Amino acid sequence: MTDLTNKRVLIVDDSALHRMHAESLLKKMGVTEILQAGNGIEALDVMNASPYLPDILLVDLEMPGMDGIELLQQVMQRNLRMEVVIVSSRENALLTTVEAMSQTLGIAILGALQKPLTLERLAGVLGQEKLVVGTAPKASAYSLDAITRAIDDHEFVCHYQPKVTLATGVIKGVEALARWQHPRDGIVYPDRFIDAIERHGAIMQRFTLALLDQVLAQLKYWHSGGLSLTVSLNISAQSFADARFVNQIIKKVEDSGVEPRHLILEVTETAIMTDIGASLGTLARLRLKGFGLSIDDYGTGFASMQQLSRIPATELKIDRIFVHGCHQRQHLIIMLESAIQMAEKLQLSVVAEGVELTEDWQKLKAMGCELAQGYLIAKAMPGDQLLPWIKTESKRLRAL
Ligand code: C2E
Ligand code: CA
Ligand code: CA
């Protein structure tokens, strides 16, 4: 779940009533900084006048003066980076077209919603689903002390989510996802501890190295049983920028005797683009050593094809917002086709994340996407469950 409390949101709508309604919904989600504008020109004025850009733009389409589409074009021309939600009373088909247009322009579009706005739908596009259900635990429920102790006590374990070849249904590798086996609270998911760890670079590094130990042991076990898998491990932006830490990873893998090609390091597109200069050096070194390198959450950052072509990656992982529901959404198909084509040109493997529906699986397969990961295949599971899972599920996957 995204934390909205420190996000700045600009509502652009010519109806004061609609602005008020949107404002009250945002407040319910914990947003404290809300700006308003009555049309596109006013919105640009507000952005010029304020020292920080809004993080999220909630924009109506039909407005006097400058309408929503012109505003989005201006935002792109001026290279202003923010996430966009379109809100309009127009029909769904038009909304879909505008959503597709925005995506082609490279706008980070979160969704297009029909008026009247509801808490549920707005929360849905802002990544707040859990808030609506009302089960969200407080993100900061665990102290850093508790987390540090848990690392030392080996309470963090990896669960593994299969990644399979679409054409055959055969498992190619797994992604290691951290789980906290909390002595009191049971299994705790990353949304409740990763952010806290991320804020403390040194602890993140300790955390990642502890997981790497587990991954290497697990890989050896699988390989000894004749199962030739790769394991993908998530590396945070900060850790990735630290050359000393990267050396520690290289050393650990060398000492373990596991071949680096069996390990794929996942770094988000945003992390790479934030400091492309430093990233390129690190990526090049890891590639020279033979590690696999995956560009995670692809599509949510702003990498251009030219920039991507300079990154020595081996895999492109398309974020699930472009995958889920693709079989019936033309603008997602456009995005997927271009990502798949680009991966092919750059000789990268391409993975669709978040495959939940058989229809999406079939669409991706027809488009020539190489690999898929998602709940349709399996959720992440403890390492010792993988072999039995392969035994019981491979027939179902072959038939998909
Ligand atoms: P991610 O790297 O994008 O990992 C994929 C997330 O999507 C996982 O959530 C996975 O369980 C979930 N997922 C997989 N298939 C589906 C699907 O079909 N539908 C839906 N709705 N979700 C699906 P998880 O395990 O909760 O991890 C969340 C995030 O936490 C990860 O996103 C990653 O950014 C971070 N994370 C997890 N483990 C680690 C770690 O060891 N180190 C670091 N630095 N970050 C980690
Ligand atoms: Ca990942
Ligand atoms: Ca991802």
Is 375 close to ligand 1, i.e. is its CB under 6 Å away? yes
Q: Which range, 41-50, 74-83, 350-359, has the best average confidence (pLDDT)?
A: 350-359
Dist CA 124 CA 15 (whole Å) = 23
Residue 1: what pLDDT? 65
Q: Cβ neighbours of residue 67 under 8 Å, at least 6 residues apart?
A: 39, 40, 61
- Find the ligand nearest to 269 CA: 3
Count of H-run helices and E-run strands, the chain: 17, 15
Assess whether pLDDT exceeds 90 at residue 69: no
Residues 19 and 96 in one domain: yes
Domain membership of residue 179 (yes or no) is: yes
Cβ(310)–Cβ(331) below 8 Å? no
398 residue type, one letter:
R
- Find the ligand nearest to 317 CA: 3
Residues 112 and 150 in one domain: no
Which atom of ligand 1 is closest in space to residue 159's alpha carbon?
25
Q: Cβ neighbours of residue 9 under 8 Å, at least 6 residues apart?
A: 26, 31, 33, 34, 35, 54, 55, 56, 57, 58
Q: Which token pair is 39?
A: 């049309």
Domain holding 224, by residue range, is 144-399
What CATH number does residue 57 fall under? Answer: 3.40.50.2300
Q: How many domains does the chain have?
A: 2
Q: Whose alpha carbon is nearest atom 33 of ligand 1?
A: 234
Cβ(305)–Cβ(316) below 8 Å? no
Q: Cβ neighbours of residue 344 under 8 Å, at least 6 residues apart?
A: 350, 368
Q: What is the mean pLDDT of the chain?
A: 91
Domain boundary among 127, 152, 169: 127
Range 125-144 burial, b when 16+ CB lie within 10 A, else e: bbebeebbeeeeeebeebee
Residue 139: what pLDDT? 47
Q: Distance from CA of residue 292 to its chain's centroid?
A: 19
How many residues are recorded in the chain? 400
**Nearest residue to 322 (alpha-carbon basis) of 339, 341, 304:** 339
Q: What is the mean pLDDT of residues 78-83?
A: 88
Residues 122 and 149 in one domain: no
Q: Whose alpha carbon is nearest atom 7 of ligand 1?
A: 354
Is 380 close to ligand 1, i.e. is its CB under 6 Å away? yes
Higher pLDDT, 281 or 251: 251
Q: Distance from CA of residue 76 to its chain's centroid?
A: 22
Residues 284 and 209 in one domain: yes
Q: What is the mean pLDDT of residues 368-382?
A: 98
Residues 123 and 153 in one domain: no
Ligand 1 pocket mutation pick from 207, 212, 218, 234 by most atoms within 8 angstroms of CB: 234
pLDDT tens figures, 149-165: 999 999 999 999 999 99
Domain membership of residue 90 (yes or no) is: yes
Higher pLDDT, 105 or 282: 282
Is 190 close to ligand 1, i.e. is its CB under 6 Å away? yes
What backbone torsions phi and psi does residue 381 show, to the nearest 5 degrees? -135, 160
Residue 331: what pLDDT? 85
Residue 342: what pLDDT? 93
How far is the CA of 365 from the CAs of 352, 355, 391, in angstroms? 10, 11, 23
Residues 184 and 215 in one domain: yes
For 224, the enclosing helix (H) or strand (E) is: helix 201-224
Residue 131: what pLDDT? 42
**Nearest residue to 81 (alpha-carbon basis) of 100, 103, 59, 106:** 106
Residues 233 and 349 in one domain: yes
Lowest average pLDDT, out of 107-111, 318-322, 339-343, 379-383, goes to 107-111
Is 302 close to ligand 1, i.e. is its CB under 6 Å away? no
Dist CA 137 CA 149 (whole Å) = 21
What CATH number does residue 349 fall under? Answer: 3.20.20.450
- Find the ligand nearest to 298 CA: 3
pLDDT tens figures, 123-138: 988 987 544 333 334 4
Percent of the chain at pLDDT exceeding 70: 96
Residues 351 and 247 in one domain: yes
Task: Report CA(64)–ligand 2 centroid distance (Å).
Answer: 43
How many CA atoms lie less than 13 Å away from 122 in the CB half-sphere? 25
Domain membership of residue 305 (yes or no) is: yes
pTM over 0.75: no
Lowest average pLDDT, out of 82-91, 139-148, 199-208, 307-316, goes to 139-148
